[in-house]
Amino acid sequence: MKSRKIMMAALCAVPLSVLPVVAGAVETDRITVEDPSTGAVKFKVTSEGNVTAGQYTGDGALLSNVAHFKGTWSSATVYAKDDCVFYGGSTYIALAASTNAQPDISATSWTVMAQKGADGAAGAAGATGATGATGPQGPQGIQGPQGPQGPAGSPDTQTDILNKIKTQTSGAVLTMQQASGELGTNNKLSIKDPAGVDKIAFTPDGVLRVDSYGISPQMILTSATDTAGQAPTFIGRKARGTLTVPTATQAGDNLFTLSGIGYYGTGGAGGNWLTASTAIFMPARENFTSTAKGADVAFLTTAPGTTSRSEKFRITGEGNVGVGVTTPAQKLEVNGGVRLNTATAKPTCSSTVRGTFWVAQQGTGVADTVEVCVKDATDAYVWKSVW
């Protein structure tokens, strides 16, 4: 017993070396530790350096070819070869050192030790466990390249924009196009009052609306020119065909219309408008050509107590005037009586008054007189009594 203790003390003082196996010999156990009561081998080291044991104490971190369990995999942890982690229900062992190498997709860094089995039949849901501690934050990804600089916004004020629009620019066009399916009566350009009500509006179907409910609307055209024949003008143009491919105006086509429309009832600004009660038409008298452009002017009115307008007065292209006649054949043709009721002082008969009829209304008991200004044989201008 005493010699064994002396031997152990010596072993603790100096390194213990075991000679290697002769080259080509079969591998054998070089160090063996047995349980003295049972003779069972508890620890052994082979000549190849393999170590086996029933159990270890310590963390075993310095042992090679031995699994080191590191818990659930984390992208922030630095792992070494032989580290084991739990991920996605399976256990993986590291084949090489790695960081942020996900076990299920990094085949060069990890391999499966224990594969998760198939899920069993669903049982009753258990109680929700307590929320675990927040894991460490993963590494920040690489920032992508900055995109190109967008165009600078307009620094213009409203006044700047309006000044640019009004500045004369060759070929510039301000377009407000009607959208597909949009009503042609929708306003595309409006001028509103302080309450937001449209006062002047343009629509895509070519309508200019001037609305002023409760106030007489006015449209003033001003012209300043030294040319005698030029003046503010409204022009109506009528053609057959289309705007892009027009064809000649035909007889009966209305060249231009001015209409007056009244309102009745309490339907508000948008309803209860009558059709035009009065109108001035300018109908074509013939099919237009480069040498034929005959046209009339017709005045239509609505008699009191009725709702339908009809023509009452016309000036033909030949210069004939019809009152109650749509096709006058004389310079003046009247369908009905002509009343001369002259209450003012009779002028002196002269070359400028020549041909004038004058009816003088007399008092009680005195007959009215009808006279005409004519020139007699002496070239004198005199009033001649007709009755």
Q: What is the b/e burial string over 313-330, where b = at least 16 CB atoms within 10 angstroms of the residue's CB? A: bbebeeebebeebeebee
Asked if residue 350 has pLDDT above 80, the reply is yes
Residue type present at position 314: R
- Percent of the chain at pLDDT > 70 equals 82
SS (H, E, C) 112-158: EEECCCCCCCCCCCCCCCCCCCCCCCCCCCCCCCCCCCCCCCCCCCH
Nearest to 199 by CA among 223, 183, 215: 215
Topology of domain 60-112 in CATH is: Seminal Fluid Protein  PDC-109 (Domain B) (2.10.10)
Given this model, what pLDDT does residue 63 score?
61
CA distance linking residue 30 with residue 35, whole number of Å: 17
Residue type present at position 108: T
Give the start-end residues of each E strand in 21-133: 29-34, 41-46, 51-53, 68-72, 78-79, 83-87, 90-94, 98-99, 110-114
Residue 3 sits at φ, ψ, to 5 deg, of -65, -35
pLDDT 10s digits, 97-144: 999 999 998 889 989 888 887 776 766 777 888 888 887 887 777 888
pLDDT confidence band for 232 (50 / 70 / 90): confident
Asked if residue 266 has pLDDT above 80, the reply is no
Residue type present at position 69: F
Q: Are 386 and 370 in contact (CB under 8 A)?
A: yes
pLDDT confidence band for 4 (50 / 70 / 90): very low
Asked if residue 12 has pLDDT above 60, the reply is no
CA distance linking residue 154 with residue 162, whole number of Å: 13
β-bridge pairing 254-260 and 246-247: unpaired
Residue 93 sits at φ, ψ, to 5 deg, of -120, 140
Asked if residue 245 has pLDDT above 60, the reply is yes
Given this model, what pLDDT does residue 24 score?
63
Q: Which helix (H) or strand (E) holds 297?
A: strand 297-302
pLDDT 10s digits, 205-219: 777 877 765 556 667
The domain ranges of the chain are 1-55, 60-112, 187-216, 242-263+273-337, 339-387
pTM of the model: 0.51
**More confidently predicted of 4 and 226:** 226
Nearest to 201 by CA among 212, 215, 214, 187: 187
Helix boundaries (H) for the chain:
2-13, 158-166
CA distance linking residue 328 with residue 349, whole number of Å: 30
Task: Name the range with the highest mean pLDDT among 28-42, 109-123, 150-164, 305-319.
Answer: 305-319
Given this model, what pLDDT does residue 3 score?
47
Nearest to 240 by CA among 256, 231, 253: 253
CA distance linking residue 102 with residue 109, whole number of Å: 9
Asked if residue 314 has pLDDT above 50, the reply is yes
